[in-house]
């Protein structure tokens, strides 16, 4: 099958138009969630800053808000530059379900390519909306090997989880964990650390049922 090229803007954001199909490798299984203002007339969107600054021009003007979930993806073979792929609530839900199926089969979703198609998808209420569908290509080779993927820890941010704990969990980063199982895993590795602290770390690091070590820093 012949695939389309991803559309790229001036930033690192990538997307597809209706009926386009492209390949991608996910750098992480956990997205970055953001609240965005969306202008239906122009199609433009920008971040809501009310939580950060206590005031937001978009909120004051009553501009519609949407939840956006942005994934890091590789879009070319041997290209280590991570592009940012924004998805809607419904697309995110369906992608996370694909990830859960792969984990259940002992397959790391970040170690294969996905066929990504822009098309109509069904919401939880049965309504059809524009979104993306995903097909894992189980026999594919990844664009970027595990050894060349970036560290989840941003050197420019402060630690909010003890570094020694976060570093020790790198072997299970991106794997499915609920709060209780993650706490028990950390407890088995660090039996001398008080339960209260480990529970707070489990809450911090567990995102949508997946261990996300990017959250170990601010």
* pLDDT score for 63: 87
pLDDT tier for residue 213 given thresholds of 50, 70 and 90: confident
Q: Which long-range contacts (CB under 8 A, 24 or more apart) does 105-108 make?
A: 107/136, 107/138, 108/174
Structure token digits, residue 175: 């794997």
pTM greater than 0.75: no
For residue 4, CA distances in Å to 12, 75, 169 come to 18, 11, 37
Q: What are phi and psi of 199, to 5 degrees?
A: -65, -40
Mean pLDDT, range 117-146, rounded to an integer:
93
Quick check: 210 pLDDT over 70? yes
Structure confidence at residue 150 (pLDDT): 67
Domain boundaries, the chain: 7-148, 163-216
% of the chain with per-residue pLDDT over 70: 99
């Amino acid at each position: 099958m012949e695939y389309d090229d991803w559309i790229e803007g001036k930033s690192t954001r990538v997307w597809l138009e209706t009926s386009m199909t492209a390949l991608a490798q996910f750098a992480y299984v956990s997205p970055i969630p953001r609240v965005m203002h969306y202008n239906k007339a122009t199609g433009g969107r920008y971040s809501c800053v009310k939580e950060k600054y206590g005031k937001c021009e978009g909120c004051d003007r009553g501009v519609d808000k949407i939840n956006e979930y942005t994934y890091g993806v590789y879009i070319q073979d041997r290209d280590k530059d991570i592009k940012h792929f924004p998805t809607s609530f419904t697309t995110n839900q369906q992608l996370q379900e694909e990830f859960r199926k792969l984990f259940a089969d002992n397959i790391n979703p970040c170690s294969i390519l996905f066929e990504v198609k822009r098309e109509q998808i069904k919401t939880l209420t049965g309504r059809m909306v524009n979104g993306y569908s995903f097909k894992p290509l189980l026999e594919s080779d990844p664009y970027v090997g595990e050894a060349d993927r970036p560290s989840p820890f941003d050197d420019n941010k402060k630690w909010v989880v003890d570094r020694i704990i976060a570093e020790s969990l790198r072997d299970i980063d991106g794997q499915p964990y609920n709060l209780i199982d993650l706490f028990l895993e950390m407890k088995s590795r660090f039996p001398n650390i008080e339960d209260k602290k480990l529970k707070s770390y489990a809450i911090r690091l567990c995102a949508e049922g997946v261990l996300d070590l990017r959250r170990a820093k601010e």
